[in-house]
Amino acid sequence: MLVKEGKKKSLTFNEILEILPQRYPMLLIDRVIEINDKEAHVVKNVSGNDPFFLGHFPQQKIFPGVLITEAMAQASIVLLANSNENAQEELDELPLLYRTNIKFLDVVTPGDQLLIKIELQKKVKNSAIVEGKVYVKERLVSSGILSFTKKVFEG
């Protein structure tokens, strides 16, 4: 379900599943609490039961930075789908993340709730640039720029 008519302000987990192809354990967003054409605010609950904690610093469980980046990318795809005039027809052509410049400012551990804020910076026909910021409570834990494309690279 895309947010077009009336610009719905949030999306449930099941509505996210209609947009993203990822499934457990790679689906890394739980709820869209606010969305419009330019911004999305998304929640990811970090659970100690997540499978990657078995091998990622098992004595001091730390949520992997690459998964924070993936959560930002998934939130961005939901935003891009919402801001796309032809999104319903183009769900088969989800944008691919092709460049990032992400900074990790603090660790994320089980029990934390990530608030992921994505803001569309630029969008052209086959690509987009977004800025992402990830917070735990009011503490900024990660931020950066993500670039997406629908173009398939050859070679």
In a domain, residue 2? The reply is: no
Position 8 pLDDT exceeds 90:
no
In a domain, residue 144? The reply is: yes
In a domain, residue 154? The reply is: no
> At 6, is the pLDDT very low, low, confident or very high (cuts 50, 70, 90)?
very low
pLDDT of the residue at 83:
82
Residue 60: give the domain boundaries. 13-149
State yes or no: is 56 an active-site residue: yes
pLDDT in tens, 108-131: 999 999 999 999 999 988 899 999
Report how many domains make up the chain.
Answer: 1
Give Cβ neighbours of residue 21 (< 8 Å, ≥ 6 apart). 94
Q: Are 28 and 44 in contact (CB under 8 A)?
A: yes
pTM comes to 0.89
The two three-digit tokens of residue 55, written as one number: 């091998």
In a domain, residue 3? The reply is: no
In a domain, residue 4? The reply is: no
The catalytic residue among 31, 56, 123, 133 is: 56
> At 155, is the pLDDT very low, low, confident or very high (cuts 50, 70, 90)?
very low
- Cβ–Cβ contacts within 10 Å for residue 108, how many? 24
pLDDT in tens, 68-95: 999 999 999 999 998 876 554 455 577 8
In a domain, residue 42? The reply is: yes
CATH of the domain at 74: 3.10.129.10
pLDDT in tens, 40-65: 999 999 999 988 888 878 789 999 99
Position 153 pLDDT exceeds 80:
no
pLDDT of the residue at 1:
42
Alpha carbons 10 and 108: distance in angstroms, whole number: 25
pLDDT of the residue at 7:
57
pLDDT of the residue at 87:
52
In a domain, residue 8? The reply is: no
DSSP letter assigned to residue 22: -
Position 103 pLDDT exceeds 50:
yes
Alpha carbons 29 and 79: distance in angstroms, whole number: 12
Mean pLDDT of the 27-41 span: 97
Burial of 73-98, coded b for 16+ CB within 10 Å and e otherwise, reads bbbbbbbbbbbbeeeeeeeeeebebe
In a domain, residue 155? The reply is: no
